[in-house]
């Protein structure tokens, strides 16, 4: 008995050292991965297959889904040009390149015409963007809010700094709304494969309402006095996460759709780090005969996320979920379509940050014609992907698998 107690005491004494050793190993692995990502040579295709996807009528709305940035940016700039009284623009990243400059010039031009322009960009997402570009000066009719601005290194350790706005929103006159995965900048215009959505109709007011709510809650220097009341629609819903108020419905919309699926579930997600609830739901759906396919980037812009995602794949594969790796360029979409009926497009990744710590916004659409477009887009992307299988995935390099497994505890940080 004394011997057993002695051994237990030794474990307790050495536990902090073991924890520290594990943390150091995880940090070393992450540093090594990021260093490797910097020096590796990755051939990125600047051209990928696209679909001509026309607008479709959904109830009282006209909706259009875009699978490339160049097309949606052209339409966004055209709609900005036609704005009559209000432009609301929000982006996690607002690059200072030629694409960002095109938007900046268009917004300044409309402000000179008397249109009220409100701009939100995230202080961390756009941290690398030159201050001179982000500043619109004291121009009349333009107000700019940098959400969660990093004022000092000390502020980085403020718990509130973990909350980001990851949304990508444009609303014109409360009548036309855009949302999805596309930030404003050159990579999103053509190099990255992404998905965005345009909604024309009453539901645009809901998107405007969410924009104004964030602005007025966090930036009281120049409150927006416009009143866009929310509306309800049986075909289209706008679903937004507000972490400060602990309003986090996006995860539940995914779970409800997955749990109700009968035939197929097609998911495309840039940073696929689902929690236990979503993993269990996907495996359960597959085991009841649903064709569950998940598409993720073969190589993303975050190599640590890639490794953590790959550490999850074997469990999903053994549970019957099909995994597709999109090849050739960065896949940044956040979409799902179910049973040829229900679809979602938005800014939220299936990871801990998007589902609990970020302001996010997704649209859900119940419509067969739109779901057919979403399925066609998924199948088009599948032609650029390679499928992985449990037998070969489980027989990969043991050290790599161990590294993927060791990073799993950090999944909630990304």
Q: Spell 262-286 as b/e; 16+ CB within 10 A means b.
A: eebbbbbbbbbbbeeebbebbbbbb
146 DSSP β-pair partners: 121
Find out if CATH 3.40.50.300 is the number for domain 244-409.
no
Alpha helices in 225-367 (DSSP H): 250-260, 276-287, 303-318, 352
pLDDT above 80 (res 89): yes
* Identical fold, 56-238 and 244-409: yes
- CATH class of the 56-238 domain in this structure: alpha beta
| Rounded mean pLDDT, 371-397 | 95
More confident residue, 130 or 409: 130
| Rounded mean pLDDT, 159-184 | 94
* Contact (Cβ atoms closer than 8 angstroms) between residue 206 and residue 231: yes
pLDDT above 80 (res 153): no
More confident residue, 254 or 162: 254
Query: What was the pLDDT predicted at 283?
Result: 98
Q: Where are the domains of the chain?
A: 56-238, 244-409
Query: What was the pLDDT predicted at 398?
Result: 84
The Cα 215–Cα 36 span in angstroms is 39
Closest CA to 311 of 31, 45, 33: 33
pLDDT above 60 (res 3): no
**In this prediction, what percent of the chain has a pLDDT beyond 90?**
71
Q: How confident is the model at residue 412 (pLDDT cuts 50, 70, 90)?
A: confident
Q: Which tokens is 393 given?
A: 């995935």
Q: Which tokens is 322 given?
A: 């099909």
pLDDT above 70 (res 29): no
pLDDT, tens digit, for every residue of 263-277? 999 999 999 999 999
Name which of 23-32, 85-94, 229-238 the model is least confident about. Answer: 23-32
| Assessment of whether the complete model's pTM goes beyond 0.95 | no
Closest CA to 195 of 324, 378, 353: 378
Selection from 2-6, 40-44, 221-225 with the highest mean pLDDT: 221-225
pLDDT, tens digit, for every residue of 401-410? 887 787 888 7
Residue with tokens 């924009």: 211
pLDDT above 70 (res 24): no
Query: What was the pLDDT predicted at 64?
Result: 98
Query: What was the pLDDT predicted at 17?
Result: 59
Query: What was the pLDDT predicted at 7?
Result: 47
| Rounded mean pLDDT, 32-39 | 57
Name which of 58-62, 97-101, 225-229, 295-299 the model is least confident about. Answer: 225-229
Closest CA to 361 of 377, 344, 378, 374: 344
Name which of 25-39, 86-100, 298-312 the model is least confident about. Answer: 25-39
Q: What rounded mean pLDDT belongs to the chain?
A: 89
Q: Which tokens is 394 given?
A: 């489980």
More confident residue, 4 or 176: 176
Selection from 43-52, 239-248, 399-408 with the highest mean pLDDT: 239-248
Closest CA to 360 of 225, 186, 200, 244: 244
Name which of 17-21, 115-119, 234-238 the model is least confident about. Answer: 17-21
Query: What was the pLDDT predicted at 371?
Result: 98
pLDDT above 90 (res 302): no
pLDDT above 70 (res 21): no
Strands 358-366 and 342-346: antiparallel
pLDDT above 60 (res 26): no
Query: What was the pLDDT predicted at 11?
Result: 46
Query: What was the pLDDT predicted at 43?
Result: 44
């Amino acid at each position: 008995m004394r011997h057993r107690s002695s051994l237990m005491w030794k474990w307790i004494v050495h536990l902090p050292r073991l924890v520290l050793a594990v943390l150091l190993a995880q940090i070393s692995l992450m540093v090594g991965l990021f260093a490797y990502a910097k020096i590796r040579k990755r051939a990125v295709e600047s051209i990928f297959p696209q679909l001509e996807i026309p607008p479709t009528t959904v109830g009282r709305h006209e909706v259009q889904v875009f699978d490339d940035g160049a097309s949606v940016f052209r339409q966004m700039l055209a709609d900005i040009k036609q704005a009559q009284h209000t432009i609301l623009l929000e982006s996690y990243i607002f690059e200072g390149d030629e694409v960002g400059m095109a938007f900046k010039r268009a917004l300044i031009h409309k402000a000179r015409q008397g249109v009220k322009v409100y701009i939100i960009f995230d202080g961390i997402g756009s941290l690398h963007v030159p201050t001179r570009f982000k500043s619109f000066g004291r121009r009349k009719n333009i107000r700019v809010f940098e959400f969660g601005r990093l004022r000092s290194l000390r502020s980085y350790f403020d718990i509130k700094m973990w909350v980001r706005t990851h949304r990508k929103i444009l609303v014109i006159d409360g009548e036309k709304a855009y949302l999805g995965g596309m930030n404003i900048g050159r990579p999103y215009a053509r190099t990255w494969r992404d998905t965005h959505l345009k909604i024309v109709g009453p539901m645009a007011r809901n998107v405007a309402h969410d924009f104004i709510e964030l602005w007025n809650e966090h930036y009281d220097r120049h409150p927006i006095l416009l009143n866009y009341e929310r509306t309800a629609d049986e075909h289209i819903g706008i679903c937004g996460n507000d972490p400060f108020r602990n309003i986090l419905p996006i995860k539940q919309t995914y779970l409800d759709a997955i749990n109700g699926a009968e035939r197929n579930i097609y998911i495309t997600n840039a940073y696929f780090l689902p929690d236990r609830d979503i993993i269990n739901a996907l495996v359960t759906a597959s085991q009841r005969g649903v064709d569950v396919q998940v598409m993720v980037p073969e190589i993303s812009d975050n190599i640590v996320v890639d490794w953590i995602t790959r550490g999850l794949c074997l469990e999903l594969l053994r549970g019957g979920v099909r995994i597709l790796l999109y090849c050739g360029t960065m896949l940044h979409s956040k979409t799902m379509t179910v049973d040829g009926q229900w679809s979602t497009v938005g800014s939220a990744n299936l990871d801990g940050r998007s589902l609990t710590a970020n302001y996010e916004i997704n649209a859900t659409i119940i419509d067969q014609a739109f779901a057919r477009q979403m399925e066609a887009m998924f199948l088009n992307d599948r032609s650029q992907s390679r499928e992985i299988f449990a037998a070969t995935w489980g027989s990969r390099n043991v050290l790599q698998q161990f590294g993927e497994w060791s990073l799993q505890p950090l999944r909630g940080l990304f």
